[in-house]
Structure 1
Amino acid sequence: MASSADVSVALVAGEVSGDMLAARLLAGLRPRLPAARFHGIGGPRMAEHGFVSDLPMDTLTVRGLFEVIPRYREIKGIQNALRDRLLAERPDVFIGADYPGFNLGLEEQLRRAGIPTVHFVSPQIWAWRGGRIKKIIRAVSHMLVIFPFEEAIYKAAGVPVTYIGHPLAEMIPLRADTLAARGALGLEGAGRVVAIMPGSRMGELKYLAAPFAGAAALLAKRDPSLRFIAPMAGERQRAYFGELLAAAGLADAPIELVDGQSHTAIAAADAVLVASGTATLEVALFKKPMVIAYKVMRASWEIMRHMGYQPWIGLPNVLAREFLVPELLQHAVTPQLLADAVWAQLEDGAGRARLEARFTDMHHSLLRNSSQASADAVMRVITSSRSA
C-alpha cells in the first residue's frame, strides 16, 4: 500500500470492554496506517490512538433483553444514521468491536453493499443463541476470536477466522505485585482487602450496587479489619453508585470508591466480588479468588435462563469447563449469600493455591501478541478489498 492517507477505517465499540479491545487493535494498526482516518463510535482508550468518536460511547451502552426496549428507537436511529454515513463514505473496512446486537446488524448491511467487515470478538454463540451463526455468515467478512476453542466453530461454518489470543492476557502480568498495588491505593499495612466490582454499565449498577454494598457491610461485621475498595468506571457511574446506596440505606457502607484503577484494585485484593462479564477474566488473570454475580430485569432473566447451552456464566468457569469459582445468579444475589461466598473464598487458603495454579495455566493459553495478530488480519482484509 503506497500511502495510508486515503485509507478510512470505521469502528464501533459500545462499552468499556469493546473500547479496550479496539484500542489493542488500533495499537497495531496505527503504525502501519499512520495517516489513515479512524472514526465511528468509541471510548477514551481508542482515542489514545487517534480515533475520532462521532458520538459518545455511553450513547450505546445498554444491558439485558428487555432493558433495550425503551431505547430501541433511539439506538436504531443511531445505527441507521451511521449506516447511511458509511455507505456514502465507503471506508476500506468496518470493524465492530464486540456489541453484537448493534454491530452485526450494521455489518450485514455494509457487507451487502460491498464494504468489508471485521467482527472483534465473537459473540458467545457457544453459550447461547447459537442460531446467530447464520447472521454472522451473512454479516462478517472476517472474525477475530480471543478464545482458542472458538476458531474451530467458525472454520466449520466457513467464516474466515483468526485466533489472536486475549488482549488482557498481555496487559496483565503473569505475577502481580500485590504490595505495590496496595501502596498505590493507600492500603499499606492493611489487613485483608476485598475488591467490589459491580460493573461499569448503569444497568449492572442498578441491580448489583445495593447487594454488593450490603455484602460488604455484613463482611465488615465478621471482620472489622477488612478493607473494601470499589473502582468506578467514571464520574457518572460513581455518582449513580452513591445514589443507589443512599436509596438503599447503605450510604455508610465501608467501601472506598476510586476512579478507574480497576487492575490496581484487583491486584491489591485478597478476594473479589465481581459482576459477570469481562471483569471476571481480569480477576482470573490476576490469579485472585472471586465470587461472580449476575442480575438483570426479571423478564430478561426468565428468557435468558432457558437459552443457555452450558451451566456456567462466568468466563473463568466457561474456560475451565467447571465451577472453579462460585456464581450467584438473579434471586441468589442477596447480601447474605454474597457475603457468605466471599467469606468462604477469604478463608480457603488451599483453594487459593489451587485457583492460582489453574488461572496461571489459563493465562498462558490466552497469551499471544493480540495487537499484531489482529492488525495483520485487518490489513489482509483491506489489501484484499483494494486489489479486488
Structure 2
Amino acid sequence: MPTIGIVAGEASGDLLGSHLIQALKKHRPDLDFVGIAGPKMISEGAHSLFPMERLSVRGYIEVLRHLPGLLKIRKQVLQHFLKNPPDIFIGIDAPDFNFALERKLKRSGIKTFHYVSPSIWAWRKGRMGKIKRAVSHMLALFPFEPALYEKAGVPVTYVGHPLADILPLDPDKKNAREHLKIKPQTVVVAMLPGSRQSEVKQLADLFVKTAKKMLETNEDIQFLVPLITRETRTIFERAIYDNQDEVALPINILFGHAHMAMEAADAVVVASGTATLEAALLKRPMVITYRMPWLSWQILKRMNYLPYVGLPNVLAGRFVVPELLQHDATPEKLAEATLKVLSDKDLINDIRNEFMNIHHALRQNTEEKAAQAILAHL
C-alpha cells in the first residue's frame, strides 16, 4: 500500500489536510496516510503518531517554552519516517516544524511537498534558501507567490485557497440571521478574538471595552462572539463580567459558527490570521487587530517590512480595511474604525468590490489541483 507521510500543526492545517486526503483518495483509494493529524484528518483515515495539539504553539516566547517537547516530537517523527519511508511526504503549513523535517527527509531521497507557503513575501530576511533545501515542490495558496519560487528555482504549483471554493460568492445574510434569530434591521458586529487561549486572553477585555464604546454611539448594536472551546468561552465571559454595569451588554457568545456569525454581521472586528481571509471571502467590512506579549512584538516588528499584516490588505496590495495593532489597539480607536466601516457607504462598496476580486482569484478548485500535483510524482 503506497504511504503518504503528512504533518499538520494546527486547526487550519487539519482542515486543509482533510480536504486534500479526500481529493487524493478519489483517485487513489489505496493510499495510507501517517504522521501528525488533527480530528478532521483522522476522520478521513489518517493515522496520527502524536496529538496535533502538541504542535499548536504561537509566538516566539511561547515556542521557546515548549521547544524541548517540540524537538523531541520532531526527532521521533523523523526516525519513524526514516525507518518506514513514505512514498511522498507532505508538510502542511507549520514551517518551523516541517522545514527541518522535510530537509532531512529530502536528503534521504524522499520527495517532499509543502502545502501553504510561509510568508516569505512579508519578511526582510526571507527563508528561500532554507525552503529550497527542504522542499521538492511547493503548493502555493496565493497568486503572487509562484513567481517568487520560480525565480529561486523551486518547483511550485499555484492551487488557490480552499476557503474560496467552500464559501459562496454571494453570502446569505438573511438566512444566517434567521438561523441565529436576529431581526433583519438589527446592526450586527461579529467579534473574532482568535482560536487560541493566549490570543483570547490578549484580546477579550479589549473587545468588550470596544463594544461598550460603540454602544455609547449606537445602543442598538448586537455583538456576536464565536468561540470554539470551553476555555476560550470562559475567558471571554470573565471579560464581560469584569466590564458589566447595571445593564447587560448585548454580547452573544456562540459555540463555533464563526462563518455564520460573520455572514450575519454588518461588520467584523477580527484578530489578524486566517479569519481575516474568511471575513473577506464573506465580503464583510472589517477592522483587523492584534495584541501579543511585549517581547514577541518587539521581535516581530523588526522583521516585518510590508506596511500591512492582514491577508485581505496583502492580497489587495493596499489598505482596503484598517489595521490596529498592539499599542494602536485601543477601545477608542477600534470603536471609531468599526463605526466608520459600518456607516461609510463608499468605503463599504470599495471593500466589497475588492473582496469579490480576491474571491475570484483564489477560487481554483484547490484540493483537486493540489492532489493532481502530488499524484504526478507518486
Q: CA deviation at 1:68?
A: 1.0
RMSD: 1.7
Distance 1:245 1:84 in 2: 48
CA, structure 1 residues 267+78, in 2 after alignment: closer, same or farther (shift >3 Å)? same
Q: Bigger CA drift: 160-169 or 180-189?
A: 180-189
Q: % of aligned pairs identical?
A: 45
- Residue 201 of structure 1 is matched in structure 2 by 196
2:317 aligned with 1:321:
yes
8 Å CA contact retained: 1:66, 1:300: yes
Q: 1:310 aligns with which of 281, 306, 312?
A: 306
Q: Which of 259, 273, 277 is residue 277 of structure 1 equivalent to?
A: 273
Q: Distance in 1 between matches of 2:123 and 2:195?
A: 23
Mapping of residues 1-388 of structure 1, within 5 Å: 6-128=1-123, 130-189=125-184, 191-243=186-238, 245-246=240-241, 248-249=242-243, 253-382=249-378
Describe the superposition over 1:187-209 as per-residue Cα deviations: whole angstroms up to 9, x where unpaired. 23450110010111222112112
Distance 2:169 2:331 in 1: 32
Q: Quick check: 329-338 or 236-245, which moved more?
A: 236-245
Number of residue pairs matched?
376
How far 1:354 sits from its partner (Å)?
Answer: 1.4
CA distance in structure 2 between the partners assigned to 1:145 and 1:214 by the alignment: 38
Alpha-carbon distance in 1 for matches of 2:92, 2:16: 7
Distance 1:39 1:299 in 2: 36
Ranges of 4+ aligned residues in structure 1 off by more than 6 Å: none
Name the CA distance, whole Å, in 1 between partners of 2:205 and 2:5.
39
Post-superposition offset of 1:261: 1.3
Name the SS of the counterpart of 1:305 in structure 2.
Answer: helix
Check the 8 A contact 2:208/2:239 in 1, yes or no: no
Helix, strand or coil for the counterpart of 1:381? coil
Q: Is the 8 A contact 2:125 2:303 kept in 1?
A: no
TM norm structure 1: 0.92
Structure 1 range deviating more: 58-67 or 320-329: 58-67
What SS is found at the alignment partner of 1:81?
A: helix
Contact 1:220 1:254 in 2 (8 A): no
Alignment-mate amino acid for residue 111 of structure 2: P
Deviation at 1:33, TM superposition (A): 2.3
State whether residues 198 and 209 of structure 1, in contact with CA within 8 Å, keep that contact through their aligned partners in structure 2: yes
Residue 22 of structure 1, CA deviation: 1.7
Using a 3 Å threshold, how does the CA distance of structure 1 residues 292 and 232 change in structure 2: closer, same or farther?
same
Amino acid corresponding to residue 57 of structure 2 in structure 1: V
AA aligned to 1:128 is: W
**Secondary structure, in 3 states, of the residue corresponding to 2:195?**
coil
Structure 1, unaligned stretches of length 5 or more?
A: 1-5, 383-388
Separation in structure 1 between the aligned mates of residue 185 and residue 253 of structure 2, nearest angstrom = 16
Q: Deviations over 1:49-92 (max 9, x none)?
A: 22233333222111111221111111111111111112111111
Distance 1:219 1:12, change over 3 A: same
Tell me the residue number matched to 1:3: none
CA distance in 2, matches of 1:129, 1:237: 34
Separation of aligned partners in 1, 2:205 and 2:140:
35
> Could you tell me whether the CA contact under 8 Å between 2:174 and 2:184 is conserved in 1?
no
Q: Measured at CA, do residues 347 and 127 of structure 1 come closer, stay the same or move farther in structure 2, by a change above 3 Å?
A: same
Structure 1 pair 198–250 and aligned structure 2 pair: CA distance change class (3 A): farther
Cα distance change on mapping 1:340 and 1:348 into 2, 3 Å? same
Shift of 1:337: 1.5
Is the Cα contact below 8 Å between 1:206 and 1:244 reproduced in 2?
Answer: no
Structure 2 unaligned blocks of 5 or more: none
User: Does structure 1 conserve the Cα–Cα contact (< 8 Å) formed by 2:91 and 2:113?
Assistant: yes
CA separation in 2, counterparts of 1:129 and 1:52? 38
Q: Secondary structure at the match of 1:299?
A: helix
Does the C-alpha gap of structure 1 residues 94 and 245 become closer, same or farther in structure 2, counting only changes over 3 Å?
A: farther
Deviations 1:300-343 (A, max 9, x none): 11121121121010011111111100000111112221111111
